[in-house]
Amino acid sequence: MANRVAVGVGAVALAACLLLQPTDARAEEAPVALVTPLVYGTHLPGLGKPAAALAKAIKERSGGDVVLDLKEPGDGTKPHEILDKVADGTVDAGIATASFWAAKVPAASLFAGYPFGPDAKVYLAWFDKGNGRKLYQEMYDHAGIKVHVIPCAFGGAEAGGWFVKEINAKKDLEGLRMRIFGLGARVAARLGVVPVLVAGGALAEAFKKGKIDAAELYTPAVDREQGLQDTVKIIYMPGWHQPETVLELLINKDRWNALGTARQEAIEAACRDMLRTTLGESAGLQAEALASLSTKDGVRILDWPDQVIEALREAWAGIAKEEGARDYFFKEVLDDIEKFQSTSSGAAEPPASPEPDAAP
């Protein structure tokens, strides 16, 4: 009888101890799923596929404890709604490029890829050894946008554009009707280009009907997937307006803080690995696409004339100065990137992340 009483008292005590454990500690044991809408569909090479790879890497590194529930573009959240929905907690996370938010946060394009900006190696070094990560988070914090941001992949350098005729001199840009957006559009407009708004899916038709003379869309790999080579046969390189595309993982700030250290570290480690992996993959992907466009599709890959590049660079310098005068944080970020590039070889890769422990 005494033994039964002792066992009963012990069981009660054990149950009481479990109930008295901190709620956070017990909650941290339960797997979490983060609803994560995407700007680019996972079928797109370079821009969309890294999201699927990142989700897999996070699940593996966390031992299945963190799952990104990816939502394709338009599956409940439109691409331009992602930042706001993550910030207000309507969704848990999102994968995008910061340039989508440039109208709201002027410095955003500097973290995504901008005219005559860094390539992937310099971005990687700036994030890892410079002030890139700190300034990236400060940008959203200063704007009162409640997200935690992690650069998570490189999507590749964009093409300089598709053209129906050759550009041999600066004067050939005057009056050219071109589908081009953002800071690149403002630079091109300084040289007489007329920016035209055309949806990506309507480009081929716009070319056929003569509504546009040129267009920049995405990277060569994605452009080929969209079939532009069937309509236009000239590409200019390099993509001066976006020498690299940085993909970001946004997580609602409260949701991030509630994840706990182990889950946070698993996500950060997966993103570091994806940056390293896509650094090499994206460059190879674009080179392969350009080679196929040239040899299989009859597209002429031409270099920009030096005169045109210098004129574009000069126009960008003027616009950058104007933006810096309008927004102090834009100037702070741009100055920091330029200082980093001038004082650092800037291409060293971060050490490999440690392998995750085996799941219990």
Higher pLDDT, 349 or 312: 312
Single-letter code of the amino acid located at 120:
A
Task: Give the CA distances from residue 178 to residues 110, 174, 260, in Å, rounded to whole numbers and listed in that order.
Answer: 23, 11, 48
Secondary structure letter of residue 116 according to DSSP: T
CB of 287 closer than 8 Å to CB of 45: no
Torsion angles phi and psi, residue 39, rounded to 5: -80, -40
pLDDT tens digit sequence for 136-147: 999 999 999 999
Q: Encoding tokens for residue 184?
A: 């690149």
Kindly give, in sequence order, each residue whose CB lies less than 8 Å from that of residue 354, ignoring residues fewer than 6 positions away. Answer: 269
Nearest to residue 157, comparing CAs of 290, 54, 274?
290
Q: What is the pLDDT of residue 338?
A: 96
CA distances from 85 to 75, 118, 332 (A): 13, 29, 27
For residue 314, the SS3 value is helix
Q: 34 near 263, Cβ under 8 Å?
A: no
Alpha-carbon distance of 122 to 165, in angstroms, equals: 33
The pLDDT of residue 206:
95
What distance in Å separates the CA atoms of residue 118 and residue 345, rounded to the nearest whole number? 12
Q: Does residue 5 carry a pLDDT above 60?
A: no
pLDDT over 90 percentage in the chain: 83
Query: Per-residue pLDDT for 240 more than 80?
Result: yes
Query: Looking at residue 29, what is its pLDDT?
Result: 65
User: pLDDT digit string (tens) for 33-50?
Assistant: 999 999 999 999 999 999
Q: Of the candidates 74, 15, 45, which has an alpha carbon nearest to the alpha carbon of residue 286?
A: 45
The reply to whether 162-242+290-316 shares the fold of 30-156+244-286 is: yes
Structure confidence at residue 19 (pLDDT): 44
pLDDT tens, position by position, 58-114: 999 999 999 999 999 989 999 999 999 999 999 999 999 999 999 999 999 999 999
- What would the pLDDT profile of 162-182 be if each residue is shown by its tens digit? 999 999 999 999 999 999 999
Residue 6 pLDDT class (50, 70, 90 cuts): very low
Three-state secondary structure of 41-73? CCCCCCCCHHHHHHHHHHHHHCCCCEEEEEECC
* Residues comprising the chain, all counted: 360
pLDDT higher than 60, residue 326: yes
Q: Report the candidate in 236, 278, 301 with the shortest Cα–Cα distance to residue 45.
A: 278
* Residues of the chain above pLDDT 70, percent: 88
What is the predicted pLDDT for the residue at 14?
Answer: 42
Name the superfamily (CATH) of residues 162-242+290-316: Periplasmic binding protein-like II (3.40.190.10)
4 band by pLDDT with thresholds 50, 70 and 90: very low
* pLDDT over threshold 80, residue 359: no
Contact 170, 307 (CB under 8 A): yes
The runs of H, that is alpha helices, within the chain are 2-20, 23-27, 49-61, 82-87, 120-129, 132-142, 182-190, 203-208, 220-226, 253-259, 261-295, 306-326, 328-343
pLDDT over 50 at 358, yes or no: no
Residue 307 clears pLDDT 70, i.e. is over it? yes
Average pLDDT value over all residues in the chain: 90
Q: Are 164 and 213 in contact (CB under 8 A)?
A: yes
pLDDT score of 71: 98
Domain boundaries, the chain: 30-156+244-286, 162-242+290-316
Q: Distance between CA 311 and CA 188 in Å, rounded?
A: 9
Q: Look at 31 and 359; give whichever has higher pLDDT.
A: 31
Provide CB contacts within 8 A for 270, sequence distance 6+: 54, 57, 58, 60, 61, 152, 353
What is the model's pLDDT at position 200? 85
The confidence score (pLDDT) of residue 328 equals 96
Find all residues with CB under 8 Å of 39, minimum gap 6, and list them: 73, 79, 82, 94, 95, 96, 97, 100
- The band of 345, judged by pLDDT with boundaries at 50, 70 and 90, is low
Any residues with CB less than 8 A from the CB of 352 and at least 6 apart, and which? Answer: 273, 276
Domain 30-156+244-286 has CATH 3.90.470.10: no
**CB neighbours of residue 19 within 10 Å:** 8
